[in-house]
Amino acid sequence: MIVAQRKPFEEIKTMLKNYKKVLTLGCGTCVAVCLAGGEKEVDVLNAELDMARKLDNNPLELGAFTVERQCDREYMDVLDSKVGEYEAILSMACGAGIQFLAEKYPKIPVFPAVDTTFIGVNQTVGWYEERCRSCGSCVLGLTGGICPVTMCSKGLYNGPCGGTNKGACEISNDQPCAWYLIYERLKGQGRLDSMMAIVPPQDWKNQVPRTVIQPGYKKPEKG
């Protein structure tokens, strides 16, 4: 899932300082699961904003709503009848959801309430770890299911480097060497020959916006 963190409160408050009526919009998928931007977080943020603005003698009228996904047109149409009542929208979705929202309602200022952080996993409640940087050319088949882009400090596709030291990365003894982990995983699976495959220099496809259209589908008309 996409993992995000709420922005510092003062940053959010400053973004809204010129507005008197704002809709705080949550997203019910990734950011809700990672406790950053779902229905509960919308209510908590609105309560904080309400109190802070009252203390400033500059009251703010706040609406609260959460859609299933802010990155999916299907779930956005319900907003058509709501957004016109507000001067601005404070989105608690990831960066993709915020942009989709801003694109759908170009006349209304849209502000981010969270910082989108990474694609990661949920270790336990409230603890998330990065696992993928969406490089566009997945090599997990060669690396025993361990991502060298995310887990290696240098993002090496053909590691380890000379800094590997008894299982730790040269940047810190607390940081495991990804390529040591890859070696151990492949050894346990009897697949050490995979270490010998040379991965060519990366064609960094994640430097420009990408589009995925699954087989059997065609590019939809923009609505």
Binding site for ligand SF4 (CB under 6 A): 132-135, 138-140, 147, 149-150, 152-154, 156, 159-161, 163-164, 169-170, 177-179
Distances (CA, A) of 39 to 25, 65, 83: 8, 7, 17
Bridge partners (DSSP) listed for residue 26: 66
Q: Which is nearer to ligand SF4, 3 or 42 (CB)?
A: 3
For 93-124, give one letter per residue: b (16+ CB within 10 A) or e.
bbbbbbbbbbebbeeebbbbbbebbbbbeeee
CB of 177 to ligand SF4, least distance (A): 3
CB of 172 to ligand SF4, least distance (A): 9
Shortest spacing between CB 65 and ligand SF4, in angstroms: 33
Which CB, 35 or 168, lies closer to ligand SF4?
Answer: 168
Identify the residue whose tokens are 């299933």: 68
Nearer to ligand SF4, 111 or 183 (CB): 183
Burial of 50 (0-12, 13-18, 19+ CB in 10 A): middle
With H, G, I as helix, E, B as strand and everything else as coil, classify residue 217.
coil
> What is the rounded distance in angstroms from the CA atom of residue 20 to the CA atom of residue 59?
7
State which residue, 59 or 136, has the beta carbon closest to ligand SF4: 136
The nearer residue to ligand SF4, 13 or 131, going by C-beta atoms, is 131
- How, if at all, do strands 88-91 and 172-176 pair? unpaired
Residue with smaller CB distance to ligand SF4, 42 or 135: 135
Within 13 Å, how many C-alpha atoms sit on residue 163's CB side? 14
CB of residue 71 vs ligand SF4: minimum separation in angstroms? 18
C-alpha to C-alpha distance for 127 and 3, rounded to whole angstroms:
10
Report CA 145 to chain centroid distance, whole Å: 21
Nearest distance from residue 150's CB to ligand SF4, in Å?
6
CB of 134 to ligand SF4, least distance (A): 6
Tell me the C-alpha distance between 133 and 136, whole Å: 9
